[in-house]
Structure 1
């Protein structure tokens, strides 16, 4: 019986205990909320946010840190770097400290930024009117010692001197310079909290690769004032990823230029030697008009890639000119042209060199009298043969004999002209092949030089 009474009363006891515990927690919560309200009221009662806190006559030390989040854009034409970052400011304000035990152990409070004094930290090379995120709707955290932490995200647009000579293999270095605009170093001093920037939350960029993110501190005296001003410089070093530009710009340009070399392999008889080089030149011109929009528009430092494209245009134009010269040699038909005279001049020089080199085989000692005697004997034999023919055919008319001799003379003259034309054509063909081969080797050397220059830049 006693056990039944005990077990019947036990649930009521547990419920009563839980109810009392809940009431005590609510009382504690209300009490803590009241203490928080009282704390904020007390620290802001006589606080003046427009006056710089002066604690023991020392300057206010502002700690600055930047967590790089993302590289948004790099404008070569306007010389601006745009990034997304998280800014972290910290400083001590002795006017906002309190005793923790007096306010039920409250160590931190969060207040709107317009309630407290905010140092006028600015980005010295800011490309916009003001620093985004500063003095907006983000709250500050204040601990019991008076140390304030002000963290907020921001989009920074800083002026940066960009060097695009080695585009698209360039490396750019830009600085984020933070400091107080109004207070000198004896009133507000900025300090860095680390020597290497925070990139733990950095998002990779498809065009740029983050190489280095370092932090340094400087003090400098400007022309306006006698006192020095302290700054914290965040140096961002980025390198362009050239894969897209290699695939879309450089490799197609090299391929189109290489097609211009095919003009030297096409026979002159086909009539396509000039047409292929002109087609390549026109296609390269159109291609360069398209890619000119991709190149950075900056006249201070022209990229070497632009000179490479110009060199490709000149190279294809040179190939076209050389093919025209080869075709002119191929279509020479006059025996008195400059090309034929130049070929005969070269042959004369060559024969002179051969005569000098083979002087021991000289046969100039042959007597001219002997040659004359041989010619006379040959003439006499021909005369005797003609006389015998006349004796054999006394009835052949004299007119037919003259006609036959004229016909033989014309045939001999025709054969001689044909032989000379064939010899001239053979000489021109040989000379054309030598010139075409020389021009092809010259164009190939120029093409390899241009390609090597691009590879050297990479």
Structure 2
């Protein structure tokens, strides 16, 4: 029994060492004449169609939409796939049983893309050695970059706290025009990640959509994808902390007309109501964006109560 076990162990070790050596040799041969800065096509004439890059965006967590700064904070990861005509091999004869490799994103060509309305770092690829690409023997490349974005979003608070906001994320190719590669929507183009998604306590996602198109800048046309997120504010918290106190203050304000004029406490009650409305208006204004394009109807109502 012992000799048979020893033979099995030796064969397993030999196979693993041989498999590792084949992968090392394959990796060396693929990288020897490969330049990650060049488009991975064998014939890049203008008559050939551009490289097709399929994209899907997954929403992992929605941190929130800040009304004051008008920023949408969320975590995403992309699913990119394309065909690399250079980084490929024969896994049937030359490199047996090696059908896929995992390589660093810096060692192969990846599309250079930017989130143009991100207020921090617009590049999707960080350019470091922490990103990897899954490569199959037929040249199919799969890339999963992840990033937390802070994108600008014009907030319309006119219907606060029952408002619905539409935020956009714009991904563009800057250095390669549409003759080099074209972005295509994969499936719906955007959806929430079933495994990673975390609900937000303030905002509910009503709809997610993606729209690929091409825009013209100077003399060339570039590929682009617009992602649209429609968010609805969860109003339960704001009804308790904002709407309900305001209704009570409105009812108390109406009692001013009931108090007789000769009553000495009428002036003091009016001043108390006036100061309370001023403080309440200030508290609401602290959470509102300093914009004159849209003003909350609730702010108008409070202002009318102050004039009353």
TM-score, normalised to structure 2, is: 0.90
Describe the SS at the equivalent of 2:6.
Answer: helix
The structure that is strand-richer by fraction is 2
Larger-gyration structure (1/2): 1
Is 1:297 equivalent to 2:290 in the alignment? yes
In structure 2, C-alpha distance between the alignment counterparts of 1:291 and 1:172, rounded to whole Å? 18
Offset of residue 268 of structure 1: 5.3
Is 1:61 equivalent to 2:52 in the alignment? yes
- Report matched runs for 1:30-429 at 5 Å: 30-56=17-43, 57-101=48-92, 102-131=94-123, 133-136=125-128, 137-195=130-188, 197-199=190-192, 200=194, 201-222=196-217, 224-225=218-219, 227-267=220-260, 270-315=263-308
Offset of residue 160 of structure 1: 2.3
| Larger deviation, residues 52-61 vs 165-174 | 52-61
In structure 2, C-alpha distance between the alignment counterparts of 1:290 and 1:216, rounded to whole Å? 39
- 8 A contact 1:263–1:274 mirrored in 2: no
In structure 2, C-alpha distance between the alignment counterparts of 1:169 and 1:157, rounded to whole Å? 24
- 8 A contact 1:264–1:273 mirrored in 2: no
Describe the SS at the equivalent of 1:103.
Answer: coil
Deviations 1:229-272 (A, max 9, x none): 22122211111122222222222122122112223444556543
In structure 1, C-alpha distance between the alignment counterparts of 2:161 and 2:34, rounded to whole Å? 56
TM-score, normalised to structure 1, is: 0.62
Offset of residue 30 of structure 1: 0.6
In structure 1, C-alpha distance between the alignment counterparts of 2:212 and 2:278, rounded to whole Å? 50
In structure 2, C-alpha distance between the alignment counterparts of 1:167 and 1:80, rounded to whole Å? 17
Deviations 1:71-121 (A, max 9, x none): 223233443222111122222111011000221210111111111112111
Offset of residue 282 of structure 1: 2.4
- Find the counterpart in structure 2 of residue 26 from structure 1: 13
Over the residues paired in the alignment, what is the CA RMSD in angstroms? 1.9
Unpaired runs of 5+ residues, structure 1, are 1-13, 316-458
The structure that is helix-richer by fraction is 1
CA 1:18/1:158 → structure 2, altered by over 3 Å: closer, same or farther?
A: same
Describe the SS at the equivalent of 2:97.
Answer: coil
In structure 1, C-alpha distance between the alignment counterparts of 2:297 and 2:90, rounded to whole Å? 66
Q: Which has the higher contact order (CA 8 A, sep 6+)?
A: 2
CA 1:311/1:264 → structure 2, altered by over 3 Å: closer, same or farther?
A: closer
Aligned residues: 300
- 8 A contact 2:202–2:234 mirrored in 1: yes
- 8 A contact 2:115–2:123 mirrored in 1: yes
